[in-house]
Amino acid sequence: MIPLSWYLILSALLFCVGAFGVLARRNAVGILMGIELMLNAVNLNLVAFWRYLTPGLIAGQVFTLIVFAVAASEASVGLALIISIYRRRSTVVVDEINLMKW
Amino acid sequence: MRPEILTLLIPLPPLLAFGLIVLFTNRSNRLSHSVAIGAMLLSWGMAMAVFIAAVTAPHLGEHPIELSFPWLPTGATALSIGVLIDPLSAATLFFVAWTCLAIFVYSVGYHNYGQPREAHDRAGLPPHGGGLEPMYARFFAFISLFAFGMLTLVVSDNLLLLFVGWEIMGLCSYLLIGFWFGKDSAKKAMVKAFMTTRIGDVFMLLGLAYLYSATGTLNYRAILANEEVLHHLATTPAFLGLSIAGACGILLFMGTVGKSAQFPLHVWLPDAMEGPTPVSAMIHAATMVSAGVYLTLRMFPLLSAGWEEGGALTTPMLVVSAVGAFTALFAATIAVAQNDIKRVLAYSTISQLGYMVAAVGIGAFVAAAFHLITHAFFKALLFLGSGSVIHGMEHGEHETHAHTDPQDMLNMGGLRSKMPATFWTFLIGGLALAGFPLITAGFWSKDEIFADAFANGRLLVFGTLALAALLTAFYTMRQITLTFLGQPRTQAAGHAHESKWTMTLPLIVLAVFAVAAGWAGIPEDFPLIGGLLPNWMHDFVGGTLLEHPHPVAFSPIPLLTSIGVSLLGLLGGWLVYRNAKAGAPDPLIRALGPVHTLLKRKYYFDELYERFVVAPAYWLAETFTYKFLDGKVIDGVLHTIALVAGSVGTYLRRYIDLPVVNGAGDLVGESIKRAGRGGRVIQTGRVQGYLVVGVAFVALLLSYVLLVRP
Amino acid sequence: MTVLQIVFLVTGFVTLLAGVMVVASPKLVHAALWLIVSLAGVAVLFVLLNANFLAVVQVVVYIGAIAILIIFAVMLTRRVMADTGPTHNPSWWLALISALVLLGGLLALILQVPAFAQAGPTAQPAADSGLSDLGTALVDVNRFLLPFEVASVLLLAALIGAMAIARPADAAEEGGE
- Which ipTM value was assigned to this complex? 0.92
**Min Cα–Cα distance to chain B from A77, Å:** 17
CB A8 within 8 A of CB A21: no
Is B538 among the domain residues? yes
CB B358 within 8 A of CB B465: yes
Is pLDDT at B636 greater than 60 in this prediction?
A: yes
Instruction: Show residues of chain C in contact with B703, CB under 8 Å.
Output: 101, 105
**Min Cα–Cα distance to chain C from A101, Å:** 17
CB B291 within 8 A of CB B315: no
Residue of A nearest to C44 (CA): A44
**Min Cα–Cα distance to chain A from C111, Å:** 7
In single-letter form, the type of residue at position B604 comes to Y
* Distance (Å, whole) CA B578 – CA B337: 16
Mean pLDDT, residues B249-259 = 93
CB A6 within 8 A of CB C107: no
Please give, one letter per residue, the 3-state secondary structure of B58-120.
Answer: CCCCCCCEEEEEEEEEECCEEEEEEEEECHHHHHHHHHHHHHHHHHHHHHHHHCCCCCCCCCC
Residue C166 contacts A where some CB pair is shorter than 8 Å: yes
* Distance (Å, whole) CA B104 – CA B96: 12
Nearest to B685 among A19, A22, A98 (CB): A98
User: In degrees, to the nearest 5, what angle opens at C-alpha B675 toward C-alphas B671 and B680?
Assistant: 150
Is B1 among the domain residues? no
Mean pLDDT, residues B9-32 = 92
Mean pLDDT, residues B612-628 = 88
Domain coverage including residue B525: 373-584
Interface mutation vs chain B, best among C94, C103, C106, C107, most B CBs within 10 Å: C94
Reported residue count of chain B is 710
* Distance (Å, whole) CA A73 – CA A35: 13
**Cβ neighbourhood burial of C42 (10 Å; 0-12, 13-18, 19+):** buried
Give tens-digit pLDDT for B599-613. Answer: 888 888 888 888 898
Give tens-digit pLDDT for B92-122. Answer: 999 999 999 999 999 998 998 888 888 888 8
Least confident of B508-512, B651-655, C73-77: C73-77
Q: How many domains does chain B have?
A: 1
Reported residue count of chain C is 177
Count A/B contacts: CB-CB distance under 8 Å: 30
Is pLDDT at B553 greater than 90 in this prediction?
A: no
Specify the DSSP class assigned to residue B631.
I
Helical pair B244-259 and B184-215, crossing angle rounded to 10 deg: 160
Nearest to A94 among B683, B687, B695 (CB): B687
Is B425 among the domain residues? yes
Is B508 among the domain residues? yes
Domain boundaries of chain C, sorted by first residue: 1-83, 126-177
* Distance (Å, whole) CA A17 – CA C21: 10
Are A33 and C22 in contact (CB < 8 Å)? yes
Identify the band that residue C177 occupies on the pLDDT scale cut at 50, 70 and 90.
very low
Residue of A nearest to B688 (CA): A23
Identify the band that residue B238 occupies on the pLDDT scale cut at 50, 70 and 90.
confident
Task: Give the neighbours of chain C: at least 3 Cβ pairs within 8 Å.
Answer: A, B
Are C102 and B699 in contact (CB < 8 Å)? yes
* Distance (Å, whole) CA B475 – CA B338: 9
Alpha helices in C25-59 (DSSP H): 28-48, 52-57
Is B631 among the domain residues? no
CB B92 within 8 A of CB B154: yes
Identify the band that residue C79 occupies on the pLDDT scale cut at 50, 70 and 90.
low
Structural domains in chain A, sorted by start: 4-96 (1.10.287.3510)
Interface mutation vs chain C, best among A11, A14, A49, A85, most C CBs within 10 Å: A14
Structure confidence at residue C80 (pLDDT): 56
Strongest mean pLDDT among B435-439, C38-42, C70-74, C97-101: C38-42
3-state class (DSSP) for residue B364: coil
Alpha helices in B236-314 (DSSP H): 244-259, 268-271, 277-281, 288-298, 300-303
Are C118 and A4 in contact (CB < 8 Å)? yes
Is pLDDT at C76 greater than 90 in this prediction?
A: no
Structure confidence at residue B510 (pLDDT): 92
CB C3 within 8 A of CB C16: no
Q: What are phi and psi of B243, to 5 degrees?
A: -85, 175
Are A5 and C117 in contact (CB < 8 Å)? yes
Identify the band that residue B123 occupies on the pLDDT scale cut at 50, 70 and 90.
confident
Mean pLDDT, residues B573-580 = 85
> C1-83 has which CATH code?
1.20.120.1200
CB B93 within 8 A of CB B34: no
**Min Cα–Cα distance to chain C from B703, Å:** 7
Identify the band that residue C69 occupies on the pLDDT scale cut at 50, 70 and 90.
very high
Gyration radius (Cα) of chain B, Å:
38
Is pLDDT at B1 greater than 70 in this prediction?
A: yes
Are B706 and C102 in contact (CB < 8 Å)? no
Identify the band that residue B580 occupies on the pLDDT scale cut at 50, 70 and 90.
confident
**Min Cα–Cα distance to chain B from A63, Å:** 25
Is B599 among the domain residues? no
Helix (H) or strand (E) holding B646: helix B635-652
CB A8 within 8 A of CB A45: yes
User: CB neighbours (10 Å) of residue B668?
Assistant: 10
Tens place of pLDDT per residue across chain A (102 aa): 788 899 999 999 999 999 999 999 988 999 999 999 999 999 999 999 998 888 888 888 999 999 999 999 999 999 999 999 888 888 888 888 888 887
Give tens-digit pLDDT for B647-701. Answer: 999 999 999 888 888 989 999 999 999 999 998 888 888 888 888 889 888 888 8
Specify the DSSP class assigned to residue B152.
H
**Across-strand partners of A25?**
C88
Structure confidence at residue B710 (pLDDT): 61
User: In degrees, to the nearest 5, what angle opens at C-alpha B204 toward C-alphas B376 and B74?
Assistant: 115
3-state class (DSSP) for residue B544: helix
Specify the DSSP class assigned to residue C34.
H
Is B348 among the domain residues? no
Residue B694 contacts C where some CB pair is shorter than 8 Å: no
Is B675 among the domain residues? no
* Distance (Å, whole) CA A45 – CA A16: 13
Structure confidence at residue B587 (pLDDT): 82
Mean pLDDT, residues B578-606 = 83
Helix (H) or strand (E) holding B8: helix B3-9
The residue among C146 and B686 whose pLDDT is bigger is C146
Whole-structure pTM value: 0.68
